[in-house]
Structure 1
Amino acid sequence: MSFASEPTGSLDVALAHASRLLESDPALAGEQATEIIRAVGNHPMALLLLGASHTARGQTRQALDVLGPLANAQPRWAPAHIELGHALARAGQGDEALAAMRHAVAVQPDLPQAWLALGNHLAALGDTEGAQTAFANHVRFSTRDPGLLAAATALHENRIPEAESLLREQLKKAPTDVAAIRMLAEVAARLGRQEDAENLLARCLELAPAFDAARQNYALVLYRGNKPREALIQIDTLLAQDPANPGYRNLKAVILSRVGEYEPAIAIYADIVAQYPKHAKIWLSYGHALKTAGHQDRAVAAYRKSIALDAGFGEAYWSLANLKTFRFSAADLDAMQAQLRRDDLDTDARLHFEFAVGKALEDLGDYAGSFAHYERGNVLRLGELPYNADDTSLRVRRAKQLFTGEFFRERAGRGAEAADPIFIVGLPRAGSTLIEQILSSHSAVEGTMELPEIISMTRVLRQQGDAAQAMPYYDALTQLDAAALRDLGEQYIERTRIHRKEGTPFFIDKMPNNFSHVALIHLILPNAKIIDARRHPLACCFSGYKQHFARGQNFSYNLADLGRYYRDYVELMAHYDAALPGRVHRVIYETLVDDTEAEVRRLLAYCGLPFEEQCLRFFENARPVRTASSEQVRQPIYREGVDHWRHYEPWLGPLKSALGPVLEAYPKAPDFS
C-alpha cells in the first residue's frame, strides 16, 4: 500500500492501526510500520513501532539498529528513549537501558510506564530507595483523576494520613477503583498493616488480573510478610509474561535465597551482573549468595568487584571481613583508613569501614586500635537503632509472672503433635551455628537457617494483646485455647515446609532470638526439641559487639546493653528450667570444644537420635550456611577462639559490671529470686 499521496488522516489511521497490532501481533505491526516507512520515509512514529515490534519478537539487534539512530535523532522525544531502553534491556545491556530510562523521565517526567521500567532496573541493582521513588512516581502519574492524583502526590511525598483519607473517600465513591485500592495497599504497607496490604492487593488482582504493577506489589508484600511460597507464585506469573524483567528476576533471586534455593538464585544474579556490570550493589548481593552456598573464592571475587566499582562502599569491605577467615592485605587496610579520613563519607559507609578496620587490626594483633574502631562503629550503629534495656527486663519479668510451672501443667497435651523441629536458641555468636552444623551432619536431620516463622507469629499475636504491655503477645498467648494452639503449631509446620529440601524426619530452626519465645514454642509444639546454645558471657558478648548485624540485635551495640541482655537471657532460661524441668537441653560452648564427642553424644541422645560418626566430621558438610560463622563451621573445632576475648579485657569494664553475678556463676545461673 502507498501513503505518499494520502492525506495526513490516513497516515494517522495507519499508525494507530499498527500501534494496536503491536500487542496482539507484533510481526504484523512491524510489516505495517515497514509499509508506512516505504511510503512516507523515516517517519519517527513508524520507526518507533518497527523497533518495538522487533523487541517484542526477540530481534534485539534489529531493534537496536532502528531505535538507536531514532533516539539520537530525537533527543527530546521520551517514547524513543523508552523503547530504546526496552530493547537494550532485552539485549542484556542493563546499564545502557538504565541510562535510556533515566533520560526518558528527565525529558518527560509524567510518563508512568517509564517510571515503572526505571523502578524495575533500580530494584535489580539493589537501589531500594531509588526504586521506591520511581515506583511512587509511577503511581503518581498513572492517574488523571484529580482525587487520585492528589492522593498519589500525598503518597509520593510521604504524607500518609492525608493519602489514606483521600483514598478512602475515593473508594466510597468507586469501590472497584483498582488504582485506589493499590495505593491504599501501599499506605497499609507503610503503616505496618501487613494483612490489610495483602488483602487489598489480592482484591485488586481479583478485579484486574492483568494489573502487573499491583501483582508486583503483592509479591513484595508477601515476601516481606514471610510468605515466600505465595510470593514466588506471583513472581512466576509475572515472569511468564515478561521473562527478562530485571526487577522481577531480582526479587525472585532474593526470595529463592530466603528459602534456601541458592544455586538458582546464584544463576539469576550471574545474569544480572552480566547485564549490569558497573553497579556495586548487585555484585554485593551476588557475593552474599555465593558465600552462603560455600563458594568462598567466588564470593571474595564478587566483593572485590564491588569495591573496584565503588572504593567508598564500606559494606563490601565489611562483607569480606565478615567471612571471618579472610585476611585483609596492607593495601586493603590503607584503602579503608583513607576512606575513614574523608569528610564526606556517609554514616552507613563509615560504620561498615569502622567494623572492617577493627577486624583488620585485630588480625594484626593491634587490639587497642581494633577496639577503638569497633567502638566507633558501634556508636554509629546505635545512633541508627536505639535500644532500651529496661524494655527487655520488663518483658522477662512479665514472662516469669505468666508462664509458671502451673500454667504449663494446665495446658499439657495441647498443641500440634509434630516432633520435626529442633529449635536452637540463645544469643548470637554463642555457637548455635556450630551446633546446627553438627546436628545437620546426621542422616536424620536437615539444617535450614534462622527461620522467621516464630517471630512472625508473635507479631500477629501482638496485635491481639494489650498495647500497654511491653510484650503484649505474652498476654494474648495465655488466652489461646487448645484448638488455637494446635492450629499455630500446624501452621508453623506448614509454613516451614518450603525450607525443607531433603525429606529428613527432623529439621533445625536456628533463630537465636527464639529464646524469648520458649513458652510459645512449648505450647504449640510440645514435642519439638529446644537446645540452648550458651557461651562464656564475655566471649559471647564481645563477639556480638564486634559484629555488625545486617538487621536487628539492637542490644549488641553497647557493652552495658549487651551485659544486661545476656543477664536477662540467663534469667529467663533459668525460669524455664524450673518451670519445665528437662525441657531445654543446654550446650556449653567451651565444654563442646574441650570434649566434643561426649557433648555430641549428649546432644544426639536428647534429640532421640543414634550416634553417627559423621557428626564429628561436621566440617565436611557442604550445606549452605547463612550466618556470620559460615566459614568457621566449615573447619574443625579449634580452641583458639574460646579465650580470644581476653585480648580486649582492658576495655570490657562496662560489660563486666552489667553482667554482675551472671559472670561469676557461669556456666551455671545465679539465684535470681
Structure 2
Amino acid sequence: MARAQAQEILRVVPDHPQALLIQGLAASRLSDGPAALKALERAVAVAPNYPPAWLALADQRRLAGDAAGADLAYDRHIQASARDPELVAAATALVDQQLAVAERLLRDILKRRPTDVAAIRMLAEVAARLGRYEDAEMLLGRCLELAPGFTAARHNLAAVLHRHNKPMEALAEVDRLLAADPGSASYQLLKAAILGRVGEYQGAIALYEAVLAGYPTQPKIWMSYGHALKTVGRQAEAVAAYRRCVALQPAFGEAWWSLANLKTVQFSDEDLGIMRREAGRGDLEAEDRLHLEYALGKALEDRAEDEAAFGHYAAGAAIRREQLRYDRDDNTRHMRRSKALFTPGFFAERAGTGAPAADPIFVIGLPRSGSTLIEQILSSHSQVEGTQELPDIISIARRLGRAEGRESAYPEVLAELSPKALRELGEEYLARAAVHRKLGRAFFIDKMPNNFAHLGLICLILPNAKIVDARRHPLGCCFSGFKQHFAQGQGFTYNLTDIGRYYADYVELMAHFDAVLPGRVHRVIYEQMVADPEAETRRLLDHCGLPFEEGCLRFYENDRAVRTASSEQVRQPIFRDAADHWRRFEPWLDPLKASLGPVLDHYPEAPAYPA
C-alpha cells in the first residue's frame, strides 16, 4: 500500500523526497536492492539535507557490501541531523575525508561539552579510520556509558572490535544489538563475519543463508557466503554462490577472481567472453578491473596461453601496486635492525624468560611457499590442531612499536622489556589464540607466513614454541605470489622487483637466526617434500616432538576448514609437476631474477652473509 501511494505521488511530483524514501524502503523489503539504491540515491540528490534518506541509504549500501559508501552516507546523515553548527562543520570534514580537521573540531567541542555523545561517536569514527582502534574502542565505550541505548555507537563498537582482532568482545556487542533487533541484516552480516574470524563457519553459513533468504539479489552477500562454503570444503556450493554473484553483476571482478582462486574451476569460452567484455568497459571501477585481470590471467594460464596470461597478471598487479604505499627499503631496514639486535648474547641474557607453554607451532616463510601443505600434514596428526593465519604476533609487534609514540621503536624496544613483561606477552598471545582452538589438542598451528619478520619476538615470549620455515624455489614462490591477489596485506607481491627483494631479505634474516639460535628453526624445502613426502614428514614430526602417524601422509582426507589460497589444492594428493610450473613463465621473470641476486644461485642453501 505504501509503495503504491509513493508511486502515485511520484507520478505527480517526480522528485518528492518522502515518496522516494518510501519507494526505496519498500523495494528493500522486497529484496530489490538495485531499485532501493536507485530510489534512495535520488532522494538524497533532490533533498541533500533529508536525514532519514541518508540513514536508509547507509543501511542499503552496507547491505550491498559497500562499506565505504555506507560510512559516507552515515556521515551525511549526521551532518543533516545536527543542528549545532560546530557538529555540522565536523561532520562536513568527515564527509570530505579531512580527518585532521574533523579531529581538531571534535576535540575542541569535547573540551567544552565532554558528554556530547554525538561528538564522541564522531571522534571514534575518526580514530577508526586512522587505524587507532584502541582509541576508537575507548571513545565508543564512553559513548555507551553515557547513552546505553545509542545503537549506532554500539554497532560501531562491534565493528571496531572485529577489526581490532577482539572477536569475542565484538560478538558480545553484536548479540546485544540482535537481541533488540533480531531481523537486522546488517547486524547478522557483521556477526557472520566475526564467526568466520573465529572458525565458527557453520554459524556464519547459517547467518548468510538467513540474510540471503530475504535479500537474494545482493551479490556481495553471495560472495561472502561462497567464501565460507569454500573454507569448509563445500566446493560445488561455493562455485554456485560465486556463479550467482556474476549472474547478478557480470562486472563483479572479485567474484570472477574467487572462482579462479579455487584453482580447480575451468572457465568456458562464454565465461572468457564475459570477462573480456566487462574488463573492456571504460567505466569499470579499479577494484573490479584488477580482479578481472587476475581472473583472466588464470583462465588463460589454464589454456597454456602463457604470454597473454602473464600480461593480465602484470596488469592486475600494477593496479594494486599503485594503490599501496609499500616501500621495499623499509623491509630491508627492518631486517638489518633485527640482525643488529638479536645477537647470541642478547638471547643468552634473556634465557628462561617468556611463557613456558610449548603449545604453538609456527609455520613461517613467504605466501605460496607450501606452508598450507605443511599445516595440513601437521593438523592431520591426532595431537595437533590447525587454526589459521593468526594476526596476534603482528598485532603485538605493532603495539610495541607504538609504545612510545614512535613507529620505529620496534624491534629495539624488546631490549627494554623485563622478564615479567616478556612472560605476559607470551601469555597474552596464548590467550588470544585460545578462541581459535576447538578440539582440545595439545598443540596448535599458527601459519601466518609474515611472522618470520618477528622471529626474535616469538623466541623471547614463547621460548618453547616450535618453528617451521616453509621454503620454496625463489622463482616458483615469488611468481606464484605475484600472480595471486591477496585479500589483504602482502603488499610486496605486486611487483617482481619488490617480491624478489622481500624474498632475499627473508633468506638473509633466517640465515642470521640459523647462526644465532642453531636448530631453533626446522626448514622444509617444498621440492624435497614433494619428491619424498614420507621422509620429510618424519623429519617434520621429529622436530615437533611428535610420533609418526600414517594419517599425516593422507592429509588430503582431512576435512578441516582451510581459508588460504591453497584450500582446494591441499584436499588433493601432492602433484609433483606443480613444483616446476613457474618455468613456463621464465621468459618474463628477468626483473625478479635480478632482484633476488645471489639467493637464486645458492638455493636451497643461503648465500654467505657478513657477520
Shorter-chain TM-score bucket reads over 0.9
Partner of residue 625 from structure 1, selected from 562, 580, 596:
562
Q: Which residue is equivalent to 1:194?
A: 133
**Which of residues 117, 134, 146 is equivalent to 2:73?**
134
What one-letter code is carried by the residue in structure 2 that aligns with 1:68?
R
Correspondences of 1:77-116 after superposition (within 5 Å): 101-102=40-41, 105=44, 108-116=47-55
How much does 1:663 deviate?
Answer: 1.4
Cα-to-partner distance string for 1:196-250 (whole Å, 9 max, x where unaligned): 1110100000111100001011111111111111111111100100111121111
Determine which of 553, 567, 578 is the counterpart of 1:616. Answer: 553
Residue equivalent to 1:435:
374
Partner of 1:68: 3
Check conservation: 1:95, 1:277, Cα contact below 8 A: no
Matched, 1:482 2:425: no
Cα offset, 1:82, TM superposition = 5.5
Contact residue 448 and residue 500 of structure 1 kept, 8 A = yes
* TM-score when normalising by structure 1: 0.86
Counterpart residue type for residue 535 of structure 1: R
Q: Is 1:425–2:360 an aligned residue pair?
A: no
Alignment partner of 2:117 out of 142, 163, 178: 178
Residues 422 and 531, structure 1, Cα contact 8 Å, conserved in 2: yes
Preserved CA contact (<8 Å) 1:465 1:473: no
The answer to whether residue 272 in structure 2 is matched with residue 337 in structure 1 is: no
Alignment partner of 1:531: what SS?
strand
Give ranges in structure 1 of 5+ residues lacking alignment.
1-64
Q: Quote how far apart the aligned CAs of 1:69 are.
A: 4.0
Report the AA paired with residue 368 of structure 1: E
Tell me whether 539-548 or 305-314 shows the greater mean CA deviation.
Answer: 305-314
Q: Match of 1:643, SS?
A: helix
Cross-structure match for 2:309:
370
Whether the aligned pair in 2 keeps the contact of 1:318 and 1:353 (CA below 8 Å) is yes
Report how many aligned residue pairs link the two structures: 606
C-alpha deviation, 1:544, in angstroms? 0.7
Cα contact 1:446–1:504 (8 A) shared by 2: yes
- Matched to 1:659, the amino acid is L
1:496 alignment partner, SS class = helix
5 Å matches for 1:30-69?
65=1, 67-69=2-4
Match of 1:530 in 2: 467
Match of 2:438 among 497, 501, 508: 501
Q: How far apart, in 2, do the equivalents of 1:502 and 1:668 lie?
A: 37
Match for residue 590 of structure 2 among 650, 653, 661: 653
8 Å Cα contact 1:95/1:275 also seen in 2: no
Identify if the C-alpha distance between structure 1 residues 91 and 381 changes in structure 2 by more than 3 Å, giving closer, same or farther.
Answer: closer
Is 1:619–1:634's contact at 8 Å kept on the other side of the alignment?
yes
Relative distance call for 1:154 and 1:269 in structure 2 (3 A) is same
Is 1:399 equivalent to 2:334 in the alignment? no
CA contact (8 A) 1:151 1:162 kept: yes
CA distance 1:153–1:546, shift in 2 (3 Å): same
Deviation at 1:450, TM superposition (A): 0.7
Structure 1 distance, partners of 2:418, 2:598, is 39
Deviations 1:290-329 (A, max 9, x none): 1112111111111111111222222211111111121111
Deviations 1:325-350 (A, max 9, x none): 21111222222223333333333222
Cα distance in structure 2, aligned partners of 1:136 and 1:85:
19
Structure 1 counterpart of 2:285, from 346, 360, 364: 346
Contact 2:33 2:64 in 1 (8 A): no
Q: Secondary structure, in 3 states, of the residue corresponding to 2:316?
A: helix
One-letter identity of the residue aligned with 2:133 = Q
The equivalent residue for 2:410 is 473
**SS where residue 358 of structure 1 aligns?**
helix
- What is the correspondence of 1:561-600 to structure 2 with a 5 Å cutoff? 561-600=498-537
Larger mean Cα displacement after TM superposition, 181-190 or 639-648: 181-190
Distance 1:146 1:339 in 2: 45
Question: Which residue number in structure 2 is paired with residue 38 of structure 1?
Answer: none
Shift of 1:594: 1.0
Q: Deviations over 1:48-100 (max 9, x none)?
A: xxxxxxxxxxxxxxxxx5x3344345557766766776677667666666566
SS at match of 2:362: strand
Deviations 1:341-369 (A, max 9, x none): 33333332222222111111111112122
Q: CA–CA distance in 2 between the matches of 1:261 and 1:431?
A: 25
When structure 1 is superposed on structure 2, of 294-303 and 334-343 the one drifting more is 334-343
Q: Distance in 2 between matches of 1:513 and 1:468?
A: 18
Q: Which moved more, 1:484-493 or 1:276-285?
A: 276-285
Question: Does structure 1 residue 511 correspond to structure 2 residue 443?
Answer: no
Answer yes or no: is the 8 Å Cα contact 1:120–1:246 preserved in 2. no
Instruction: Indicate yes or no: 2:582 matched with 1:665.
Output: no
Q: What's the secondary structure of 1:332's corresponding residue? A: helix
Cα distance in 1 for residues equivalent to 2:123 and 2:233? 42
1:607 matched to 2:544: yes
In structure 1, the partner of 2:389 is 450
Do structure 1's residue 520 and structure 2's residue 462 form an aligned pair?
A: no
Instruction: Tell me the CA shift for residue 400 of structure 1.
Output: 0.3
How far apart in 1 are the matches of 2:473 and 2:32? 52
How far apart, CA to CA, are the structure 1 residues paired with 2:429 and 2:179?
30
Q: Counterpart of 2:567 in 1: which secondary structure?
A: coil
State the SS of the aligned residue for 1:532.
strand
1:372 CA drift (Å): 1.9
Correspondence 1:325 to 2:260:
no
Q: Distance in 2 between matches of 1:605 and 1:85?
A: 63
Q: Does 1:544 align with 2:491?
A: no
- Residue in 2 aligned with 1:281? 220
TM-aligned CA deviation for residue 584 of structure 1: 0.9
Q: Is the 8 A contact 2:3 2:26 kept in 1?
A: no
Q: How many angstroms apart in 2 are the aligned matches of 1:212 and 1:393? A: 46
Q: 1: CA distance between counterparts of 2:308 and 2:39?
A: 47
- Between the aligned partners of 1:573 and 1:128, the Cα distance in structure 2 is 39
Correspondent of 1:231 among 170, 183, 189: 170
Distance 1:495 1:654 in 2: 41
Structure 1, 383-392 or 509-518: larger mean CA deviation = 383-392
Contact 1:445 1:504 survives alignment (8 Å): yes
What value does the CA root-mean-square deviation take over the aligned residues?
2.1
Q: CA, structure 1 residues 245+81, in 2 after alignment: closer, same or farther (shift >3 Å)? A: farther
**Which AA in structure 1 matches 2:288?**
A
- Answer with 1 or 2: which has the greater Rg: 1
Could you say what secondary structure the match of 1:662 adopts?
Answer: helix
Deviation at 1:112, TM superposition (A): 3.5
2:64 is aligned to: 125
- Structure 2: how far apart are the matches of 1:405 and 1:346? 52
1:251 and 2:190 matched: yes
Gaps of 5+ in 2: none
Q: Deviations over 1:542-587 (max 9, x none)?
A: 1111111122211112212221111110000010111111111111
Tell me, in whole angstroms, the C-alpha distance in 2 between the residues paired with 1:80 and 1:383: 43
**Sequence identity, in percent?**
61
- Work out whether residues 465 and 475 of structure 1, in 8 Å CA contact, stay in contact via their aligned partners in 2: no
TM-score by length of 2: 0.95
For residues 666 and 613 of structure 1, the distance between their equivalents in structure 2, rounded to whole angstroms, comes to 30
CA distance in structure 2 between the aligned counterparts of 1:236 and 1:104, rounded to whole angstroms: 32
Q: Is the 8 A contact 1:542 1:645 kept in 2?
A: yes
